[in-house]
Amino acid sequence: MQTNQDNILELQNVTTTFFTKQGEVKAVDDVSFRVGKGETVGLVGESGCGKSVTSLSIMRLVPQPAGKIVSGKILFRNEDLMQKTEEEMRHLRGDRLSMILQDPMVAMNQLLTVGKQLGEPYVFHDKVKGSLQGMCIDLLRKVKVPAPESRVNDYPFQFSGGMSQRALIAMGIANNPDLLIADEPTTALDVTIATQVLKLMKEIQGETNSSIILITHDLATVAQICTRVLVMYAGRIVESAPIKTFYKNPAHPYSVGLIQSVPVLGRSVERLASISGQPPSLFAMPEGCRFAPRCDKAHKKCFKAYPPKTQLEDDHSAACWLYVKD
């Protein structure tokens, strides 16, 4: 572990629960990880494993009233976000801490012009210098939307999927945040446009030196731009590794399965060829390792208790009984 000074974000034992009529769902369960300054961390896992809820927890925007962060610390720039007031959080959001939601088509307000929505991070953080319209046009130019001067007055429905995603990225990076969480920024796009969008994010990061958490279920995307990978399974982080180690030496059987199921670049984790079965229902979590019902290495112990996190080498850890020495 590096010293705290190098971290922009550190989650310590964060648990986020939804209290629903059908019961309690621990969508994020005792999650800890860190993101270094200027780092791009990939957060991967199957649909429904808790990636979006993790990001919304960091933003302190878990869907109300069902969802609640029940425990843990979220250290952002060494300050615990859990201790912040709503107004303090508002000042951080869209300024130092930003996020791009999963589906660009529904993440934009259909009744307001793209320009109006782009301008909000400036307006509400007192960052307007000169013409707001000009700032919005510059922002659109930065994310390579063609003809930004006229596009700024368009409505979201006049934008294509790729352009909407670019506009959404523009909203996220308007104030050069210290941390940008991009929730599946390429899932809704076709491969060529996805590649362009990723390239764009990399370029922008080069200019602003923001840290990025890139959420995806596409391992190829991770390979393209991430420095480190977090693997999430059923609400928990099961492995954390630098990108090279992850591909060369994956520790957790789930990670191994993920990598094996994506022999071709661009294939998605959604179709797990080599891992049979389904992730457990979050309502009926198995007592032991959550992956045990699908794991070919599972043994007795695995069904009894959840494995503790084991440090394998510098910066590489996994939660699996295979690595617990006793």
Ligand X SMILES: Nc1ncnc2c1ncn2[C@@H]1O[C@H](COP(=O)(O)OP(=O)(O)O)[C@@H](O)[C@H]1O
Closest contact distance (angstroms) between CB of 85 and ligand X is 24
For Mg ion, which is the closer residue by CB, 52 or 117? 52
Of 20, 131, 160, 260, the one binding ligand X (CB under 6 A) is 20
- Map residue 167 onto helix, strand or coil: helix
Of 19, 157, 283, 303, the one binding other proteins (CB under 8 A) is 157
Residue 260 in the binding site for ligand X (CB under 6 A):
no
Strands 236-242 and 67-76: unpaired
3-state helix, strand, coil in the chain (%, to 5): 35, 25, 40
Select the span of 5-13, 19-27, 129-137, 202-210 touching ligand X (CB under 6 A): 19-27
Closest contact distance (angstroms) between CB of 162 and other proteins is 18
Dihedral in degrees, nearest 10, Cα atoms 285, 72, 310, 235: 30
Residue 21 in the binding site for other proteins (CB under 8 A):
no
| Distance from C-alpha of 125 to C-alpha of 84, rounded to nearest angstrom | 17
Closest contact distance (angstroms) between CB of 43 and Mg ion is 10
H-state helical runs in the chain: 51-59, 86-92, 104-107, 114-123, 132-142, 148-151, 161-173, 191-208, 219-225, 243-248, 253-260
Residue 108 in the binding site for other proteins (CB under 8 A):
yes
Of 7, 17, 54, 98, the one binding other proteins (CB under 8 A) is 98
Of 28, 168, 204, 269, the one binding other proteins (CB under 8 A) is 168
Residue 57 in the binding site for other proteins (CB under 8 A):
no
- Map residue 36 onto helix, strand or coil: strand
Closest contact distance (angstroms) between CB of 136 and other proteins is 13
Residue 313: strand pairing partners: 316
